[in-house]
Structure 1
Amino acid sequence: MRFQLPNRSVQSIVSTLELKSPEDHPTKMPQSSFFAKSVPFEQIDKLAISGGYSSIFASSEPGVPVVGNWEQRFCRLADTFQPVLDRVYDFEVREDDVWIVTLPKCGTTWMQELAWLVVNQCDFETAKNVDLTLRSPFLEFNGVVPNVPHDTIEAANALPSPRLIKSHLPAWILPKQIWSKRPKIIYVYRNPKDAAISYFHHWRGMVGYQGTKSDFMHSFIDGYVNFTPCWPHVLDFWQLRHEPNIFFTSYERMKGQLGEVIAEVAQFLNKKVSPEQIEQMKRHLSFESMRDNPSCNHVKEFESMKVAAGREVEEFSTSPHRFVRRGVVGSHKDELTADIIREFDLWSDINLRDYKLNMDDFANYKKFASV
């Protein structure tokens, strides 16, 4: 018997993954490397966000060394990103940079702290006392929150080498020099069901989302939240995983084999860490330590976001929302209905079918056979 979704058809799940008609042709952003097409109001209304929202397309074939139908590929972003995108795309890359690239809520902060310690000879004192956002800036943060008083692109540009830079953007919107200068890139995958649940709580706490969990999950599947659609983002870096400057790993491996991942990152970055340093790093990178460490739990960043968004800091300080929330692999099992889990699984199967992949392939991948 063929499986049928209880509420949504297969067609509805995949309908947003490709343009359907000439009427959907996007408009050129002035003097930009990108095109933008406004997202229908009903999608913005469902997400309970203010301001515009667009699908971003490349205006010409990007230099990413993967095969892609670039006329059809897009990334969904709030319109506040549009003044930032070309500054990001034209950002001056250095060959000794280390880039941490993920979709949101996939262990980005965790990997930033891990990689920073590896690069900086396990300088735990600085790691505890200097905010991670200063040590490893979020390049496109001014697109997320345009009214914060600091320019994160300028901050990244001013960092001494070797820089660690964070981004959630897909490969083809990252600075174009990345593909010619070939700095080291660490990409972290996470099971989309767990990532979506974490993203939902993040939107509730930081964006003020008041909609239903079901609506948010469908918006995630359909690619209507920032930095989605999910699977093209993951698959571009999966296709690049054998490149010597790309390290592909997963949140799941970090949770289950943190010591091994630390050693692998050190090997990838041509750094040495002793067994004793690995044990120290494991303690420093534990869930409890990361949650309670003010240099990397983003409390200061959240306060600036609240002020920029016109929300009271006191509202945040009494809120149950925390950036480091549960840190559990498989958390979707007790937070999503069986119907939505089946919907996620079908959506993943549709996207991965041509690659003959399943989610375990990403979660279990090791770049190095041994360390």
Structure 2
Amino acid sequence: MPNPEQSLSLPGYLQENETSQEFRDLIVSIPTEKGWIANHLHQYQGFWHTTRQLQGVLACQKHLQAQDGDIFLVTTPKSGSTWLKAVMFALVNRVSFPDTKQHPLLTNNPHALLPFLEMEYIGKENLDFTNYTFPRLFSTHLPLLSLPRSVEDSECKLVYLCRNPKDIFVSLWHFTNKLRPIDWGASSLEETFDKFCRGVNLYGPFWDHVLGYWKESLERPHRVFFLKYEEMKNEPRIQLRRLSEFLGCPFSLEEENSGVLDEILELCSFENLSNLEVNNIGRLHSGEEHQAFFRRGEVGDSMNYLTAEMVEKIDMITEQKLHCHGLKF
């Protein structure tokens, strides 16, 4: 891990910048553990954040003014966020960009088209989203109980995407190793697996994060659309149609017959997006390479990495945490 003299050369997502006394007081009052990649993870409102992202979480909670009609894509990290961001942008803006051969997704990384709220608010307070095209699309990894109060008080919609925790863990392990500076070496599978099972991972515990939105989707189905990555992979046209109906922009019969659904799915496919120049050479403003977000998410790929004991342990936790609430993976 870097020393303070090295930190200035680190990409933004690993920096722990000088903060206010109020923030420093908070940090020393909450649980802290060593992160997978950043120096520290801090447990706030029951979930774990890097020092940098926690600053953005607090600012977002305080300053975001959600409006009726806003759409929030909420995901657990490494559950297919990049793919669904592209799908949602193409779906909601299909009238504005009917020609998929001249589409913003061909020249912009999906993460650049949907503001990632807690990252946008790092070091900022007065962000102006009023000029965004209606409906405004936002993305976040925040758990339900940490969403800004204005989200609860408005008539906005939440689309929640999650994934089998075994595949989540392996994808997260690969992703964080991609982001680690070369001289740090790769993180241990066994060490990070232990942290994941204890819930000490970015926005973890996974099971608590999922359960909050699952319960909300059952109680308020008009407000929360709960989607599993595996469902989207197995039945993309069916899920895209359901998503359009939930968002209030259903496909017309003419659109169905002219192949608009298939055009959107082709535009947003892994094969298409991963081969675009912008997604192979660009970086997010926080420093992550676009290419790091494109690892083919095969269902069940975790079986190539986890031991039988690891599989049994995650399955046992999932059984204990989720099955009694009717949620299975």
TM score, norm. by length of structure 2 = 0.79
Equivalent in the alignment of 2:155: 182
Which of 41, 44, 50 is the matching residue for 1:56? 44
Per-residue deviation, 1:323: 1.5
Q: How does 1:213-362 map to 2 (within 5 A)?
A: 213-242=189-218, 243=220, 244-273=222-251, 274-275=255-256, 276-294=259-277, 297=279, 300-302=282-284, 304-305=286-287, 322-359=292-329
Which of 51, 59, 74 is the matching residue for 1:101? 74
Per-residue deviation, 1:156: 4.7
CA contact (8 A) 2:71 2:157 kept: yes
Q: Secondary structure at the match of 2:146?
A: coil
Aligned-pair identity (%) = 22
Distance 1:199 1:299, change over 3 A: farther
Per-residue deviation, 1:303: 7.7
Equivalent in the alignment of 1:162: 135
Q: How does 1:125-144 map to 2 (within 5 A)?
A: 125-141=103-119
CA RMSD of aligned residues (A): 2.8
Per-residue deviation, 1:187: 0.3
User: 2:215, 2:61 → 1: CA distance?
Assistant: 21
User: 1:155, 1:197 → 2: CA distance?
Assistant: 37
Distance 1:161 1:217, change over 3 A: same
Equivalent in the alignment of 2:57: 85
User: 1:344, 1:158 → 2: CA distance?
Assistant: 44
Distance 1:140 1:48, change over 3 A: closer
Which of 160, 165, 168 is the matching residue for 1:195? 168
**Per-residue displacement from partner, 1:273-295 (whole Å, max 9, x unpaired)?**
32210111121122211222355
Q: Secondary structure at the match of 1:188?
A: strand
CA contact (8 A) 2:76 2:141 kept: yes
Q: For 1:305, give the aligned amino acid.
A: G
**Per-residue displacement from partner, 1:167-208 (whole Å, max 9, x unpaired)?**
001011111111110301100110011011111111001144
Distance 1:174 1:75, change over 3 A: same
Distance 1:176 1:102, change over 3 A: same
Structure 1 unmatched ranges of 5 or more: 1-28, 58-73, 307-315, 360-371
CA contact (8 A) 1:88 1:153 kept: no
Which stretch of the first structure deviates more once superposed, 112-121 or 152-161? 152-161
Which segments of structure 1 move beyond 4 Å, counting only runs of 4 or more?
155-158
Which stretch of the first structure deviates more once superposed, 285-294 or 112-121? 285-294
TM score, norm. by length of structure 1 = 0.71
Which of 35, 39, 57 is the matching residue for 2:32? 39
Distance 1:126 1:200, change over 3 A: same
Distance 1:121 1:303, change over 3 A: closer
Q: Secondary structure at the match of 2:30?
A: strand
Distance 1:155 1:338, change over 3 A: farther
